[in-house]
Amino acid sequence: MTVTEREAREVAEAAREQDWRKPSFAKELFLGRFRLDLIHPHPAPDPESVQRGEDFLTKLRTFCETSIDGALIERESQIPDDVINGLKGLGALGMKVGTEYGGLGLSQVYYNKALALASSASPAVGALLSAHQSIGVPQPLKLFGTQEQKDAFLPRCATTDISAFLLTEPDVGSDPARLATTAVPDGDHYVLDGVKLWTTNGVVADLLVVMARVPKSDGHPGGISAFVVEGDAEGITVENRNAFMGLRGIENGVTRFHRVRVPKAHLIGKEGAGLKIALTTLNTGRLSLPATCVGAGKWCLKIAREWSEARVQWGKPVAKHEAVGGKMAFMAATTFALEAVVDLSSQMADEDRNDIRIEAALAKLFGSEMAWQMADDLVQIRGGRGYETAASLAARGEKGIPAEQLLRDMRINRIFEGSTEIMHLLIAREAVDAHLSVAGELIDPEATFADKRKAALAAGGFYARWLPKLVAGAGQLPNAYAEFDNLAPHLRYVERTARKLARSTFYAMSRWQGRMETKQNFLARIVDIGAELFAMSATCVRAEQMRRDDDNGKAAHQLADAFCRQSRVRVEELFSRLWHNTDDLDRTVVKGIMNGSYAWLEEGVLDASTDGAWIADQTPGPSTKENAHRPIR
């Protein structure tokens, strides 16, 4: 499909939740308002959900220890059927499904803890469970399904059936306006045609959530829509099981639909609501990925500590050398902070008092980037042994530490469920929503003079009230947040810096106006500053809760202090790079790359790539390949 840049933006904008019906800590933070009352005191889970969650974690831990062989899954690039059937028997497919439908009804907090535990046994198992119920059939039906759909599908998802989510296509990633798969109305059915790529769980799935475009016609508003589709329906072919650098046991494939008939009763929500359903599902679904990053951080810290005690260089354990110790301090502080971010966001999701769309996105962005850094640091601390496979280490008589596997497995997290670059843009759009609400037409080059005048009046009133509040605040009072003891200076820093961040955003909008959306590197730095401030806030709140309620409170305060000091260094660097950077020069270099000015630089090497199209053909039609679909029973 050919879609203009403006049309693509309009599709993405229409899929957004337009209203803010509930408060949002992160939204307020980007506006320069430090609403500590929204997260402190740290929200607490109800005792019943804690008991239910702890009981399941005990069973899951035993299963992971006795029945999951992560090395076997890595070696054979497949999760054994008996492991998946064991997970079904344990109820793991129904962690997020309500008890009334045969599920476990776990809270978001304990669902995330379960994913972290399962992923530590095998990241492929964690991916299977997460794709099934974070973005697969259960969550969209929970939020948007009819009672009939819930009754028909949720009991299956809770006990026997694996689900998958199918949005991406060979030529469509984060730009869904060009979605090519169609769902044409035909009597009491829709007829699906198209090709879907990177269908996590798609190879083994019994049920699919499929995004397809309904043509506009009489009685049909059309648009991208969501459907529940039986995985073994006639006309569905899994044409390939994909292989990756990491997550080698993941059941990810290419699925072709040819004249697949789907009952109208399987449409989720309304026609045209598919993208909104997907984005709303991801509001909490995105929390599963940073939850697995928490687990990775904990393991990195454990291995780094044990190895650094055993490894002696120049007369002392390597941990006592500052170059290694600094990496370990980063691991410990960051793991504590990431767990604080995930637990806080998850508990807010359970309570449903706040709008957490920005918090969940920040958790995903922050978690995936920080976990990747921790995994890379672990490989560096382990040296040559970090680069060596666990199997090779074991073969020569050493402990089989899969550090290099973790690095490969974690790399996808910066791409899954919205790449880091897309997350920056998504969060930036939400962060400037208040500005666009009052000044959008003022900076829209296609708006009429009358619209611009009306917007100018509205913007003038908003900024007259808002800007003066960015001048001073509690962060300048020496006794503010005193109840946090040694962490109070960090919260005062967050308050002051949130106002500085809001002023920087306003200045940029005034300077660039309608061109603001093209300043992607600037927006990324703004978002990264916000992510650090959110993480600092969550970390201090969690540490203070632990000081009141936990024997490890003193140590938690120390870790929180370390993280905040590390974070403040990163924040100051990001602020410096807002206005002092090479962005303009980089754009000039990119033009030179694309027009061939530097083609000479590519000489002197061989290209090991095989022949083939850059993007596979996705022309609708019958499949010519053997069906690789293998449901697990």
Q: Which two tokens stand for residue 205?
A: 């799935």
Contact yes or no for 154/220 (Cβ under 8 A) = no
Helix (H, G, I), strand (E, B) or coil at 268: strand
Whether cis (ω within 30° of 0) applies to the bond prior to 41 is yes
Helix (H, G, I), strand (E, B) or coil at 236: strand
Q: Which two tokens stand for residue 302?
A: 């454990």
Helices then strands, each counted (H, E), the chain: 23, 10
Q: Which two tokens stand for residue 167?
A: 């949005």
Phi/psi for 225 (5° steps) reads -130, 160
Q: Is 7 a catalytic residue?
A: no
Neighbours of 621 (CB within 10 A): 12
Distance CA 431, CA 528 (A): 12
Q: Which two tokens stand for residue 405?
A: 């596997």
Contact yes or no for 240/625 (Cβ under 8 A) = yes
Catalytic residue among 28, 339, 359, 417: 417
Contact yes or no for 191/260 (Cβ under 8 A) = yes
Q: Which two tokens stand for residue 433?
A: 């929503």
Phi/psi for 218 (5° steps) reads -60, 125
Distance CA 132, CA 143 (A): 15
Determine whether 383 is exposed, middle or buried from the number of CB atoms within 10 Å of its CB (0-12, 13-18, 19+): middle
Determine whether 230 is exposed, middle or buried from the number of CB atoms within 10 Å of its CB (0-12, 13-18, 19+): middle
Residue with tokens 């599902």: 281
Neighbours of 235 (CB within 10 A): 16
Considering only CA atoms, which of 91, 98, 76, 95 is closest in space to residue 145? Answer: 98
Torsion of CA 177, 174, 93, 390, to 10 degrees: 160
Distance CA 452, CA 118 (A): 54
Contact yes or no for 358/430 (Cβ under 8 A) = yes
Q: How many residues in the chain?
A: 633
Distance CA 447, CA 428 (A): 22
Question: Which CA distances in Å does 321 have to 255, 309, 318, 327, 381?
Answer: 52, 12, 5, 10, 11
Neighbours of 214 (CB within 10 A): 21
Contact yes or no for 215/253 (Cβ under 8 A) = no
Angle at CA of residue 119, ends 44 and 230, nearest 5°: 95
List residues with catalytic annotation: 417
